[in-house]
Amino acid sequence: MRGPATRIDGFLPMVRARAAQQLVKIDLKALETLRQRFESLERVLLNAVLHAIKRFIKELSELVRLGSLLPAVGAVAEIRGNESMARLTGGQVAHSPIVRPAADGCNQYSRRMTASLYYDDPSLVAFSAAVVSAAEEDDGQARVILDQTAFYPEGGGQPADRGVLAGATVIDVKKSPEGIVHLLKRPKDVTEWPPREGSEVHGEVDWDHRRDYMQQHSGQHVLSAALLDVGDYNTVSVHQGEEYTTIEVDSPEISSADLREVERRANDAIEADLPITAETVHESNINSVRLRRPPKVSGDIRVVRVGSMDCVACGGVHCERTGQIRLIRLVGVETIRGHVRTAWKIGDRALRHFAEASEITGALVAELSAKPQEIVQRVRQLGERVKGLEYEVRGAKQREYDLVTRSLLEDSEPDRGQRVITAEFTDEASDYIRGLAEILVEQTGVCACLTNRADDRLYWCVGVAAGARFRFEDAKADLLSLIAAKGGGRPPIWQGVGAADGDVQGFLAEFKRRAEQS
């Protein structure tokens, strides 16, 4: 099957040479006719042949656009109808960066040094490319620029692609004036690092990650268009997170009815399977395009359309049709900076969200012995019962505190206006002895040291009430060293945690001795 593709590849130099010798004028209508013929042939031609034909047409059209067909007379060919050309040349792979004469007579790369295969074919995940430059960083990572790449660089709110390049994990992908930079993590036991300039490397894009964010970005366009159409809500900020996508609008509130309508229209657009297309429009002609919002860039502006529903300047990678978004679901609403911010599950995330919600619903149905529509009411009833029980528990706990502190006070003897109390508890709640200390220090002259061994820890608490002679701060370091304890506080209560096997008896006895001698 390589025969037809090889013959067509060999035909390209001949066409270029002949075009350079003759003043060739490309007729856009003829190109459009070719496009229509290739679309009809696409169903029957083998992929290799069709791929080579499309590549030939794109390279020829690029040469015309750049004026390189007429180098002898310095003429520049002009091609209009960017939308038709984008459809005609979509899905092809460029094998080298486009070169054109520079003003000083030297060759230079075109504005995009690295050919963007992710625009030509968003579904392309495996590719080969030549290394234009490579440099190793101090941490061993490598910065690599290729002549072409299928890795999308971070931009427009869409995260960079993940994957593997030259056997190394792709950590990040960013745009730079020199081209698209791939940041690679050095593999173990590598013999040549970084990849040698001029060498051919193979790359594989993480398709699950790419597809996820294609769904997020395309779904966001659909939602922003629906928000504008439903209530004139303009999108002011977007974040494509790992769990959900958020859209902030320029309104302090959105009614529940409007949000339901936005979600309905978004899913109607998915069901309609609208085409998602991209074209390049120069800034001088951008006013002729009805955009949802003014562009933030100048020069050649990439415009993304979602059928007749939305049209906006965007540099992201998108689904080919809205049906590939699959599903959109609202999962949250909040107010921030005086604006409403909505959170959405889009694409496969929305399907997983429904699966998880169904699983939870099923578990609640079984646990509560209720129908799905009865769950909310049952949970509310349980909540009221829990509140009642919590109130009862607090009352019982307070009564217990009163009884225990009364017993501690009765068992202690006052000495010159000071009453020293020590007590040891086991397996109580972590805040138990703190609660007792708070009641004890309400009594004038009380010095209390309490411990509670629970959860393989030793909790301690000291309370010194007003009128007591003992100064715990002066003895704190010596006392805590007996149980290898840490902690702090300020009058009248200190607390902390000591070693589980600490000498509790020695700690309490020393506290009592020092307090009584104060």
The conformation of residue 145, written as its DSSP 8-state character, comes to E
Q: In terms of pTM, does the model score above 0.75?
A: no
Q: How confident is the model at residue 309 (pLDDT cuts 50, 70, 90)?
A: very high
Residue 38, pLDDT score:
47
Mean pLDDT of 407-418: 92
Q: Find the mean pLDDT for residues 463-471.
A: 95
Average pLDDT, stretch 256-283? 97
Write down the pLDDT at residue 310: 97
Please report the sign of the dihedral spanned by the C-alpha atoms of residue 315, residue 320, residue 322, residue 328. Answer: negative
pLDDT at 432: 96
Question: Is pLDDT at 206 greater than 50 in this prediction?
Answer: yes
Higher pLDDT, 313 or 75: 313
Look at residue 68 and tell me whether its pLDDT is greater than 80: no
Q: In whole angstroms, give the CA distance from residue 415 to residue 427.
A: 32
Query: Residue 61: is its pLDDT beyond 60?
Result: no
Select from 122, 113, 44, 130 the least CA-distant residue to 86. 122
Those residues whose C-beta lies under 8 Å from the C-beta of residue 226, and which sit 6 or more positions away, are 261, 262, 265, 266, 269
pLDDT digits 0-9 by tens, 336-356: 999 999 999 999 999 999 999
Statement: residue 71 has pLDDT above 70: no
Q: Could you identify the residue written with the tokens 């104060």? A: 518
The encoded tokens of residue 443 equal 């009594």
Tell me the pLDDT band of 32, cut-offs 50, 70 and 90. Answer: low
pLDDT, residue 48, reads: 40
Confidence (pLDDT) at 90: 36
Q: What is the pLDDT of residues 490-517, one digit of tens each?
A: 999 999 999 999 999 999 999 999 999 9
Cβ–Cβ < 8 Å for 23, 70: yes
CA distance 88 to 82: 10
Between the alpha carbon of residue 148 and those of residues 92, 97, 113, 311, 461, the distances in Å are: 12, 7, 8, 28, 68
Confidence bin at 191 (pLDDT 50/70/90): confident
Which secondary structure element, helix H or strand E, spans residue 353, and what is its range? helix 348-368
What is the per-residue pLDDT across 72-99, written as a single tens digit (0 to 9) for each?
223 222 222 333 333 323 333 333 333 3
% of the chain exceeding 70 in pLDDT: 78
User: Can you tell me the mean pLDDT for 417-429?
Assistant: 95
Q: How far is CA 338 from CA 189, 230, 254, 344, 449, in A?
A: 54, 20, 12, 20, 52
Query: Chain-wide mean pLDDT for the chain?
Result: 83
pLDDT tens profile 136-172: 998 999 999 999 999 999 987 899 999 999 999 999 9
Residue 36, pLDDT > 90, answer no
**DSSP type of residue 445:** T
